[in-house]
Amino acid sequence: MLYDVFICHASEDKVEFVRHLAARLKARRIEVWYDEFSLKLGDSLRQSIDKGLSKSRYGVVVLSNAFFKKNWTNWELDGLVARQMNQSGGNKLIIPIWHNISKEDITAYSPSLADKVAINSSEDLDGIVNKIEDVLNPKGSTLLIARDFLIKKGIEPPIVTDDWWLDMLEYCGKEYLYHEYLSFPIPWINESPENRGVNIAKHILQKLWQDKAEEVLLSQLSKPEDVWRFI
């Protein structure tokens, strides 16, 4: 998958709600397919949307009176419903948000959508994003926890789909596997996402510091004042 969420919406709802939601999701480092972010000059609109629909883990569907009147939004919703019906395991792909509408409005449009637990756009925006994150990663994501730990330490890692993370994980599993001086354990699979993420981040910090020390030719023979400046 390339994206965490695809935002399905009517253009009339951009200014009041959808644009703010997309920006807040992006600020949380959630990978979002949103037309103002994802479409570039010369792109085929249909092909780009098809890609977004097929390559997103979930669809955030902003239901509104404007949404109900659009053929295009209904086509996007049909694509998400088709994916949900065809996948195994019964996972729910659609995250509905009710925007300035009532349950009666939803029921008149689609009784099956009215039966789904939904988010209301009148809620606090951070609260809405928190609820979406809870759906995306209900038990926490190991790499996202590692990423956020690094960010708090002043490191700006690439997105978690970048091969940089594979290099870092290989380092975690090999470089210091048998070194007794490490004060934190290797994050094996039976650990919780929280523990695994934090431990991976610590290993990554160790590697980044070591790489930097090698770059500036720091060693056990370096002068104490040089080591202090490096630290």
Sequence-distant (≥ 6) Cβ neighbours of residue 179 within 8 angstroms: none
Instruction: Report CA-CA distances (Å) from 33 to 36, 59, 202.
Output: 9, 9, 31
CA–CA dist 52, 82 (Å, integer): 14
Residue 12 among the catalytic residues: no
The pairing of strands 32-33 and 3-8 is: parallel
Tokens of 134: 């809870």
Using an 8 Å Cβ cutoff, are 52 and 3 in contact? yes
The catalytic residue among 12, 76, 170, 180 is 76
Tokens 């104490």 locate to 224
Annotated active-site positions, please?
A: 76
